[in-house]
């Protein structure tokens, strides 16, 4: 594995076919990653394999063998959680239940970073949706079964597609400031999402970093999703592209990886596979070498 002074990895699978968590570590190793992100089950449904079957012992042995820092591993919460939904109480209640179950599962696995989509207002006013998100987070994080668990819920910056909330730093600041569980909340910046939401990281990266620090605080940044974007700034589209092939560009994304202020933050690639080809190993190599070499020129057709 590449010896680097930053944490750069990718999304990996976690399923029965690939031996559950053992396969997750092996996939990360194949891509020369020194961190990774996984789902504990299919992101679009509520079905979950009990943790006793996930090969946790073997998982931990592999992490030690290959020198992974477990505190830098990331789990992504299921997409089915929408704590911002006040239109359908059943959806909110389901989100509370699923988030609690996910944290309990992660406690069994021993991973403490959980990225969560803040949700969508689906017809309600923005303020109502933000308050609903806060209510749901507090219900879960103050629950007697959860309150003593070491967990950080990283709310992801969203692109503004549809009625998504937390599309800017002010909204995230409101949630973190008004939650009773601020100590268990943080932020995951997705580079594609903030570009599509209107933050000009391509031309004014330092200004965006400074604004985040001023409004939220860099100490609250716990995960970065590193993705190029297929769309121009402020498009509100949320279409990830491969590193160096989108509207953000390689140079800016490379600067993020090598910025010393992010050296302790797990940086995770979620770029799209290309015709069933996994791009992560090539993208990680380019970022390690700070050189864009156009590895997918024969695969990506615009």
For residue 224, tell me if it sits in a domain: yes
Residue 138, marked binder? no
Local confidence pLDDT in tens for the 302 residues of the chain: 557 999 999 999 999 999 999 999 999 999 999 999 999 998 888 889 999 999 999 999 999 999 999 999 999 999 999 999 999 999 999 999 999 999 999 999 999 999 999 999 999 999 999 999 999 999 999 999 999 999 999 999 999 999 999 999 999 999 999 999 999 999 999 999 999 999 999 999 999 999 999 999 999 999 999 999 999 999 999 999 999 999 999 999 999 999 999 999 999 999 999 999 999 999 999 999 999 999 999 898 76
Question: Residue 26 domain-assigned?
Answer: yes
Following DSSP, what letter does each residue of the chain receive, concatenated?
Answer: ----SS-EEEE---STTTTHHHHHHHHHHHTT-SEEEE-SS-TTS-----GGGS-HHHHHHHHHHTT--GGG-EEEPPTT--TT--S-HHHHHHHHHHHHHHHHHHHHHT--EEEE---B-TTS-HHHHHHHHHHHHHHHHTSTTTTTS--EEEEEP----TTBS--SHHHHHHHHHH-TTGGGEEEEEEHHHHHHHT--HHHHHHHHHHHHHHHT-GGGEEEEEE-EESS-TT-----EE-TTSSSS-HHHHHHHHH-GGGTTS-EEE-PPPBTTB--HHHHHHHHHHT----TTTTT---
302 marked as part of a ligand binding site: no
Q: Is 238 flagged in the annotation as binding?
A: yes
Q: Which residues pair with 277 in a beta bridge?
A: 274
Structural domain contains residue 122: yes
Q: For residues 252 and 177, give the distance between their C-alpha atoms in angstroms, rounded to a whole number.
A: 30
pLDDT at res. 43? 85
Nearest 5°: the CA angle 138, 73, 38 is: 85
Residue 264 lies in a domain: yes
In a domain, 128, yes or no: yes
- Rounded Cα distance between 172 and 157, Å, is 8
Max CA pair span of the chain:
54
Residue found by looking up tokens 């079905």 in the block: 47
Residues in the chain: 302
- 55 within domain boundaries: yes
Please check if 258 is assigned to a binding site: no
- How many structural domains does the chain have? 1
Q: How far apart are CA 221 and CA 173, in angstroms?
A: 12
Q: Determine whether the annotation assigns residue 240 to a binding site.
A: yes
User: Does the annotation list 101 as a binding residue?
Assistant: no
Residue 298 lies in a domain: no
Report in angstroms the alpha-carbon separations of 136 from 185, 217, 243.
Answer: 13, 23, 35
140: domain CATH number is 3.20.20.150
Domain range for 285: 8-289
241 is in an annotated binding site: no
Does the annotation flag 236 for ligand binding?
Answer: no
d(CA 240, CA 194): 11
Structural domain contains residue 42: yes
270 is in an annotated binding site: yes
pLDDT of residue 227: 98
Contact 102, 77 (CB under 8 A): yes
Given a contact cutoff of 8 angstroms between Cβ atoms, the answer to whether 60 and 27 are in contact is: no
CA 193 to chain CA centroid, Å, is 11
What pLDDT score was predicted for residue 300? 85
CA pair distance 219, 187, nearest whole angstrom = 9
């Amino acid at each position: 594995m590449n010896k680097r002074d930053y944490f750069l990895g990718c999304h990996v699978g976690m399923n029965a076919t690939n031996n559950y968590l053992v396969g997750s570590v092996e996939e990360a190793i194949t891509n020369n990653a020194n961190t990774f992100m996984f789902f504990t089950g299919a992101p679009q449904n509520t079905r979950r394999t009990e943790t006793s079957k996930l090969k946790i012992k073997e998982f931990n042995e592999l992490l030690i063998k290959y020198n992974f820092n477990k505190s830098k591993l990331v789990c992504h919460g299921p997409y089915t959680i929408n704590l911002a939904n006040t239109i359908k109480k059943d959806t909110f209640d389901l989100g509370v239940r699923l988030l609690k179950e996910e944290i309990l599962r992660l406690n069994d696995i021993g991973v403490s970073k959980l990225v969560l989509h803040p949700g969508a207002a689906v017809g309600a006013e923005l303020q109502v949706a933000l308050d609903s998100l806060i209510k749901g987070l507090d219900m879960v994080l103050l629950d007697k079964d959860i309150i003593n668990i070491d967990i950080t819920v990283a709310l992801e910056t969203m692109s503004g597609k549809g009625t998504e909330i937390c599309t800017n730093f002010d909204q995230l600041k409101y949630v973190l400031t008004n939650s009773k569980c601020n100590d268990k909340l943080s932020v995951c910046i997705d580079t594609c999402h903030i570009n599509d939401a209107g933050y000009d990281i391509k031309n004014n990266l330092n200004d965006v970093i400074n604004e985040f620090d001023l409004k939220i605080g860099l100490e609250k940044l716990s995960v970065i999703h590193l993705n190029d974007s297929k769309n121009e700034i402020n498009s509100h589209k949320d279409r990830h592209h491969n590193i160096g092939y989108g509207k953000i560009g390689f140079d800016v994304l490379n600067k993020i990886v090598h910025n010393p202020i992010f050296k302790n933050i797990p940086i995770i690639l979620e770029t799209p596979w290309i015709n069933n080809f996994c791009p992560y190993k090539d993208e990680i190599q380019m970022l390690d070498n700070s050189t864009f070499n156009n590895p997918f020129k024969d695969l990506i057709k615009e």
